[in-house]
C-alpha cells in the first residue's frame, strides 16, 4: 500500500506541475466566465442607433409617425441604443434602394398596400444582413400594427377582446404537492451526464497516454524493479483521479470567483431588467402587466423547484460516479495501453471498450424522456453505462435502493475491471514489438508468471 501511495504522489506532483495542466486549469474558468460576461459587455458598449427607413405605400404606420416622420419602436435604456422607424422621402422602392447605401441606414422596410386580411409582400432590405433579434422585432411591430388595423376595420371592441383572451397557467405537481419543471430537470440531467461522459474520456485518455509514453521510453523497466505492475497501475490511476478532482474543484471555484467579481461592474442585473423592458415595450399596458405577472410567477416556481432539487444527492453521486466510472475505464485503458507500443495502436483497442459509454450518451434523449423506463433502469445498473445514465436520471427522484444498487454494481465492476486489467498489464508492460490481437489478450488473462 505504501508503494501505491508513492506512485500516487509521483503521478499527482508531476501532472499538477505540468504547464499544460496549469494552463488548462486557469484558462478554462476564464473561458466559462467569458461566455457569461461577453454578452453583457457587448450590450453595454453598444451605443449606435439603428434607423429603419420605411416605404409605406398603404400608410400603415401613419398614425404612429411623430416629429421628423419618425417613431421609436424600441429603446435600450441602459446603452441608449434605439431602433427608429423613419418615413422615407422617396415614393418608390426602386428609388429608396438606389439611395440606401449612401444613407447609412440600418435597414429598409417596404410595406405595399396590404389586404390586411391576407397581408403579403412585406420586405426588409439590409446591406449586410440583419441580426435575428432585430428582424424579429421589425416583424413583430408590423404584425402588431396590422392587428390593430384589423380591430378597427372589423369594429371589434378591444376591451372585449382582452377579456376573451384566457390566461391559463397549468401547474405540474408531484403527488406530494411539490412543484415540478420537466425542462429544468431535463437540463440538469443532461448536464450531469455529459460532464461525466467527457471527464471519463479525458482523464482515461491521460492514463492511456501516460502508460504508452513510459513503456516506449523504457522508464517502465526501471520502475517495476521497485514496485509490482499492479501497484504501478493502481498508483497511476488513482494519482490521475486526484488530478482530475483537483482540476474540477479549481474550475468551479475560479469560475464562481471571476463571475462574482466582474459582473457587478458590468450591470448584469440591469441587463436582465432591460431585456424584460425591451420585450414589453411593443405590447399594450395590459399585455405588459400580464407578462410581468407570468414572469414573476415563473421565476418563483423555478426558485421553488431549484430549492427542491436533490442538490446534495446529485453532487455526492456525481463524485461517486466520476470516481467509479473513471477508475473502471482507466483500468481498462491502462491494460490496453500496456499491451501496445504506440497511441495509434491503443486507439484500435479502446474503441470497443468505449462503445458502452458512447451508447449511453447517444441514448440520453430517450432516457430523459422516460427516466423510469425499463431501458433507463437497466442501463443505469450496468457498470459500463451507469455513470452517464444514472446522472441523467438523478434529478427525476430515483429511488434510493436503485441508486445504492447502481453504485454498488459500479464499484464491483471496477474491482472486476482492475482484476482483468492487472492480468494483462503485468504481461503487456514488458512486451515489445509483438502484434497484439484480442486472442493474445485473452491468453494473457490466464498466463502464469
Q: What is the DSSP string of 312-329?
A: HHHHHHHHHHHHHHHHHH
- pLDDT at residue 266, rounded to an integer: 59
What are the tens digits of pLDDT across the range 85-106? 888 888 888 888 888 878 778 8
Distances (CA, A) of 432 to 226, 338, 341: 20, 10, 7
Residue 111 DSSP SS3: strand
Is the confidence at residue 228, as pLDDT, over 70?
A: yes
What are the tens digits of pLDDT across the range 3-30? 888 888 988 998 899 888 889 888 888 8
What are the tens digits of pLDDT across the range 359-391? 998 888 888 888 888 999 999 999 999 999 998
Q: What distance in Å separates the CA atoms of residue 386 and residue 371, rounded to the nearest whole number? A: 13
Compute the average pLDDT of residues 238-266: 82
Cell for 272? 436582465
Q: Which domains, and CATH codes, for the chain?
A: 45-164 (3.40.190.10), 180-445 (no CATH)
| 72-81, 208-217, 331-340, 365-374: least confidently modelled range | 72-81
- pLDDT at residue 79, rounded to an integer: 47
Q: What distance in Å separates the CA atoms of residue 43 and residue 266, rounded to the nearest whole number? A: 10
Which parts of 63-173 are beta strand (E)? Answer: 70-75, 82-87, 107-111, 123-125
What are the tens digits of pLDDT across the range 107-129? 888 888 888 788 888 888 888 77
Residues with Cβ < 8 Å from 341, sequence gap 6 or more?
212, 215, 216, 432, 433
Residue 343's Cβ-count burial label (10 Å; 0-12, 13-18, 19+) is: middle
- pLDDT at residue 176, rounded to an integer: 55
What are the tens digits of pLDDT across the range 391-435? 888 888 888 999 999 999 999 998 888 888 888 888 888 777 777
Q: How many residues does the chain have?
A: 449
HSE of 129, CA atoms in CB hemisphere, 13 A:
2
Distances (CA, A) of 97 to 69, 100, 145: 19, 5, 24
- pLDDT at residue 182, rounded to an integer: 65
What are the tens digits of pLDDT across the range 301-344? 444 545 556 778 888 888 899 889 988 998 888 888 888 877 77
What are the tens digits of pLDDT across the range 142-163? 888 888 888 888 888 877 877 7
Contact yes or no for 239/11 (Cβ under 8 A): yes
For the full predicted model, state whether its pTM sits above 0.85.
no
Contact yes or no for 343/217 (Cβ under 8 A): no
What is the chain's Cα-based Rg? 31
Q: If you average pLDDT over every residue of the chain, what do you get?
A: 78
Contact yes or no for 283/57 (Cβ under 8 A): no
Amino acid at each position: 500500500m505504501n508503494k501505491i501511495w508513492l506512485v500516487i504522489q509521483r503521478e499527482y506532483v508531476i501532472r499538477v506541475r505540468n504547464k499544460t495542466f496549469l494552463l488548462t486549469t486557469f484558462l478554462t474558468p476564464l473561458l466559462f466566465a467569458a461566455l457569461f460576461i461577453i454578452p453583457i459587455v457587448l450590450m453595454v458598449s453598444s451605443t449606435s442607433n439603428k434607423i429603419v427607413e420605411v416605404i409605406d405605400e398603404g400608410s400603415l404606420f401613419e398614425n404612429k409617425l411623430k416629429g421628423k416622420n419618425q417613431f421609436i419602436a424600441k429603446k435600450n435604456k441602459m446603452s441608449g441604443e434605439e431602433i427608429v422607424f423613419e418615413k422615407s422621402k422617396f415614393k418608390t422602392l426602386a428609388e429608396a434602394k438606389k439611395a440606401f447605401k449612401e444613407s447609412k441606414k440600418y435597414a429598409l422596410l417596404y410595406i405595399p398596400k396590404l389586404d390586411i386580411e391576407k397581408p403579403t409582400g412585406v420586405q426588409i432590405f439590409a446591406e449586410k444582413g440583419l441580426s435575428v433579434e432585430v428582424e424579429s422585432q421589425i416583424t413583430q411591430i408590423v404584425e402588431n400594427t396590422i392587428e390593430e388595423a384589423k380591430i378597427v376595420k372589423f369594429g371589434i371592441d378591444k376591451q372585449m377582446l382582452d377579456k376573451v383572451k384566457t390566461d391559463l397557467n397549468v401547474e405540474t405537481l408531484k403527488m406530494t404537492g411539490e412543484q415540478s419543471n420537466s425542462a429544468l430537470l431535463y437540463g440538469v440531467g443532461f448536464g450531469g451526464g455529459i460532464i461525466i461522459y467527457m471527464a471519463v474520456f479525458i482523464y482515461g485518455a491521460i492514463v492511456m497516454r501516460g502508460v504508452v509514453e513510459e513503456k516506449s521510453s523504457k522508464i517502465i523497466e526501471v520502475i517495476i524493479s521497485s514496485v509490482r505492475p499492479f501497484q504501478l497501475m493502481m498508483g497511476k490511476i488513482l494519482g490521475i483521479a486526484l488530478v482530475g478532482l483537483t482540476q474540477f474543484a479549481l474550475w468551479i471555484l475560479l469560475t464562481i470567483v471571476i463571475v462574482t467579481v466582474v459582473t457587478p461592474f458590468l450591470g448584469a442585473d440591469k441587463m436582465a431588467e432591460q431585456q424584460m423592458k425591451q420585450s414589453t415595450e411593443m405590447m399594450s399596458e395590459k399585455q405588459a402587466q400580464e407578462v410581468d405577472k407570468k414572469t414573476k410567477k415563473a421565476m418563483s416556481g423555478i426558485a421553488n423547484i431549484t430549492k427542491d432539487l436533490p442538490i446534495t444527492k446529485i453532487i455526492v453521486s456525481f463524485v461517486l460516479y466520476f470516481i467509479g466510472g473513471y477508475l473502471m475505464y482507466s483500468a481498462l485503458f491502462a491494460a490496453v495501453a500496456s499491451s501496445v507500443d504506440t497511441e495509434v495502436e491503443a486507439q484500435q483497442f479502446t474503441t470497443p471498450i468505449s462503445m458502452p459509454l458512447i451508447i449511453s450518451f447517444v441514448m440520453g434523449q430517450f432516457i430523459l424522456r422516460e427516466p423510469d423506463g425499463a431501458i433507463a433502469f437497466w442501463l443505469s445498473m450496468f457498470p459500463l453505462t451507469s455513470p452517464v445514465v444514472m446522472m441523467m436520471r438523478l434529478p427525476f427522484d430515483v429511488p434510493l435502493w436503485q441508486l445504492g444498487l447502481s453504485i454498488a454494481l459500479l464499484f464491483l465492476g471496477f474491482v472486476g475491471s482492475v482484476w482483468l486489467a492487472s492480468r494483462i498489464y503485468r504481461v503487456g508492460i514488458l512486451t515489445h514489438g509483438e502484434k497484439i490481437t484480442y486472442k493474445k489478450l485473452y491468453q494473457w488473462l490466464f498466463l502464469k508468471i
